[in-house]
């Protein structure tokens, strides 16, 4: 869990959390959009004000100040999320997650006229202490959406590989498109790829890693 793990500057971590009692965190496009925008605006020294975020023509152009963590990948699923980060400043991860989850919980509860805890825990974190472990996260995090259409993906038992590839290439709620397509999205500003190992020097190299994972059975 994040609260029991001591974060060190320059180290890499996989952060994640789920909806309390397995509830869905994202019920419509607006929910996904708000959490995605908070990945950018919460990652800064300037406090997040939801009223200002709502008024902004593009939340990805809002003033947030210097980043407090480096983000290398992210993915939103209906009832949970994953973020790959590097601790940039002392207590950066803890502050970032507090701003992110508090901001989204307030938004969600006000919108749905509900009260109470939204997330299962403060947040969970795993220290990515080896190069292989870190590189693996790029595949694991970005492949997560396959679970929406095929529950056997983690065991590499994918029923329709072509359908899976097509689904991933159109899934907008992750940084997958920022690694696989040359045309940039406004969400690209969430990432700071320069602070992570250069595993993928081209879009094709990233695509190859994903396709090799999906086509695993054919390679045996």
Strand order through the sheet with 124-127? 69-77, 80-87, 12-18, 124-127
Between 131-143 and 203-214, two packed helices, what is the crossing angle to 10 degrees?
A: 80
Beta strands in 10-79 (DSSP E): 12-18, 69-77
Range with lowest mean pLDDT among 42-51, 74-83, 201-210:
42-51
Domain holding 46: CATH number? 3.30.70.1290
Q: Which secondary structure element, helix H or strand E, spans residue 106, and what is its range?
A: helix 92-112
| Structure confidence at residue 219 (pLDDT) | 36
* Average per-residue pLDDT for the chain: 90
Between 29-41 and 92-112, two packed helices, what is the crossing angle to 10 degrees?
A: 150
Please state the domain count of the chain. 1
Give the mean model confidence (pLDDT) for residues 44-62: 71
pTM above 0.85, yes or no: yes
* pLDDT band of 105, cuts 50, 70, 90: very high
Tens of pLDDT, residue by residue over 202-212, are: 888 998 999 98
Query: Which burial class, exposed, middle or buried, applies to 190 when counting CB atoms under 10 A from its CB (0-12, 13-18, 19+)?
Result: buried
Give the mean model confidence (pLDDT) for residues 6-28: 96
Q: Residue 122 pLDDT > 60, yes or no?
A: yes
Q: Residue 2 pLDDT > 70, yes or no?
A: no
Distance CA(1)–CA(126), nearest Å, equals 8
Q: Which domain holds residue 80?
A: 2-219
Say whether 159 sits in a helix, a strand or coil: coil
């Amino acid at each position: 869990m994040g609260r029991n793990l001591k974060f060190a500057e320059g180290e890499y971590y996989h952060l994640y959390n789920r909806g309390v009692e397995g509830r869905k965190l994202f019920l419509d496009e607006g929910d996904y959009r708000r959490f995605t925008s908070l990945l950018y605006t919460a990652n800064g020294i300037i406090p997040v004000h939801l009223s200002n975020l709502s008024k902004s023509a593009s939340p990805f152009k809002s003033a947030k100040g210097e980043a407090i963590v480096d983000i290398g990948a992210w993915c939103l699923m209906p009832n949970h999320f994953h973020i790959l980060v590097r601790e940039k400043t002392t207590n950066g991860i803890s502050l970032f997650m507090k701003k992110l989850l508090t901001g989204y919980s307030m938004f969600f509860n006000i919108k749905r006229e509900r009260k109470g805890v939204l997330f299962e825990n403060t947040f969970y974190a795993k220290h990515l202490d080896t190069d292989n472990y870190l590189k693996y996260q790029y595949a694991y995090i970005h492949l997560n959406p396959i679970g929406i259409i095929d529950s056997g993906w983690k065991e590499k038992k994918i029923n329709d590989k072509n359908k899976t590839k097509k689904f991933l290439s159109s899934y907008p709620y992750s940084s997958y498109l920022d690694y696989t397509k040359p045309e940039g999205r406004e969400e690209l500003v969430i990432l700071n790829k320069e602070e992570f190992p250069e595993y993928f020097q081209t879009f094709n190299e990233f695509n190859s890693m994903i396709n090799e994972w999906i086509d695993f059975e054919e390679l045996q």
